[in-house]
Amino acid sequence: GKVAVGVNGYGTIGRRVAWAAGLQPDMELVGVVKTKPDYAAAQAMSAGIPVYVPGEAEAERFRKAGLEVSGTIRDLLREVDVIVDATPDGVGATYSKLYREAGVKAIFQGGEEASVAQVSFSALCNYDEAVGKDSARVVSCNTTGLLRSICAINSAVGVRAVNAFLVRRAADMHEVKRGPINSVVLNPPRVPSHHAGDVRTVLPWLDITTAAVVVPTTLMHVHYVTMKLKGNASREEVLDALRSSPRVLVVSASKSGVEGTSQIIDAARHIRPRGDVPELVVFEESVLSKGDEVSFIQAVHQESIVVPENVDAIRALTGLSDGEQSVKLTNYALGIGK
């Protein structure tokens, strides 16, 4: 039978993961957990997705808003094999005991400490380490982006060390109070930023340093990545390694006119659901190689890059398929790489 999936936290990530799990031939979306009876809750109900709440207090809020919920999270946990936790940073950890006691496998997000789960996960780097485990943490959007290019190049030519400068988006669409609106802010205000340590939760052997700033944009993050390789590699070898990854898109500015994040999202809005770009995007003309050093600029659509990783994590935990097959299935169902 199909693996029964529930989603706790129905925001930027949770709504997309619920949608993506519902599209997989080997999964069934049983329901989602919402705290507030807002437009996202109403949309889920209109789409026929059963909506659950954390407890009786929230059920009452929904009733007052004229919405009838399907039960509490405890009811949902009785119906699912896997719960994907997409609650805000640090909230997931407060649920981990509940998931364990319910005997349900759990997937957490990058806003949690690595210790929340048995393994930190990135499908094309360490799928096998998550197979059969009870819990996994899908690393954050920036970390997933870094790992996409690092693991693609590592499997082709070998990576010794990485240095990356991250330009982060300020907010997602619904976060009306986040900023900055007129500054470039060191975020965090120290180097190395936490992203280096987060990459090492998946690749503990890697020598990596990261620094990050946040800027007034909502669309995507942009990284300038420099790598020291295990041997010399030509620019073409590096481009081939990136192009042959199933979740990397290499775009040429001279051929497509795409020179920045707004054009990536503009193009995606015409052919992709919600204008999402779950692939890591690498700017072709930014790729530079010199001996055993390579550098390039890449863009990360923070709202969607971890979505296919969550789907693959569900397959890894439940042993539904091997990594290569899972990535293929997920990509096909979500239209990734087309």
Using the contact rule CB under 6 A, the part of the chain among 60-68, 264-272, 288-296, 298-306 near ligand NAD is 298-306
Handedness of CA 53, 56, 57, 59 (dihedral sign): positive
Instruction: Choose the stretch contacting ligand NAD; rule: CB under 6 A; options: 32-40, 160-168, 187-195, 208-216.
Output: 32-40
Compare residues 43 and 262 and give the one whose CB is closer to ligand NAD.
43
Q: Closest distance between ligand NAD and the C-beta of residue 138, in Å?
A: 7
Q: Does 10 bind ligand NAD (CB under 6 A)?
A: yes
**Between 13 and 151, CB nearer to ligand NAD:** 13
**Which residue blocks in 133-281 are alpha helix, DSSP H?**
141-156, 194-200, 235-243, 253-256, 261-271
> Does the annotation count 125 as an active-site position?
no
Print the binding letters for residues 82-111 with ligand NAD: x by CB under 6 A, - otherwise: ----xxxx-x-----------------xxx
Q: How far is the CB of 234 from ligand NAD (least distance, A)?
A: 33
Q: Tokens standing for 278?
A: 């779950």
- Piece of the chain touching ligand NAD by CB under 6 A; list 19-27, 31-39, 60-68, 277-285: 31-39
206 by Cβ neighbours in 10 Å (0-12 / 13-18 / 19+) ranks as middle
According to DSSP H, which parts of the chain are helical?
12-22, 39-46, 56-64, 73-79, 91-101, 123-130, 141-156, 194-200, 235-243, 253-256, 261-271, 307-318, 323-334
3-class DSSP state of 203: coil
> 172: closest CA among 8, 333, 14, 5?
14
With CB under 6 A as the contact rule, the residue among 5, 6, 9, 20 that binds ligand NAD is 9
Peptide bond just before 192 cis, omega within 30 deg:
yes
Site string for ligand NAD, 48-67 (x = CB under 6 A): ------x-------------
* 123, 141, 281, 306: the active-site residue: 141
Interacting residue with ligand NAD among 4, 5, 6, 14 (CB under 6 A): 14
Q: Which two tokens stand for residue 323?
A: 């990594």
Which residues, other chains included, contact 76 with Cβ-Cβ below 8 Å and sequence gap of 6+?
A: 6, 8, 30, 31, 33, 50, 52, 70, 83
In the window 159-198, what residues touch ligand NAD (CB under 6 A)? 172
Q: How far is the CB of 175 from ligand NAD (least distance, A)?
A: 7
| Residue count (the chain) | 338
**Neighbouring C-alpha atoms within 13 Å toward the C-beta of 90:** 0
Q: Tell the burial category of 236 from Cβ atoms under 10 Å away from its Cβ (0-12, 13-18, 19+).
A: exposed
With binding defined as CB under 6 A, does residue 321 bind ligand NAD?
no
Instruction: Decide if residue 318 touches ligand NAD (CB under 6 A).
Output: no
Q: Does 11 bind ligand NAD (CB under 6 A)?
A: yes
Please give the residue ranges that form the binding site for ligand NAD (CB under 6 A).
Answer: 8-14, 33, 35-36, 54, 86-89, 91, 109-112, 140-141, 172, 302-303, 306
Catalytic residues: 141
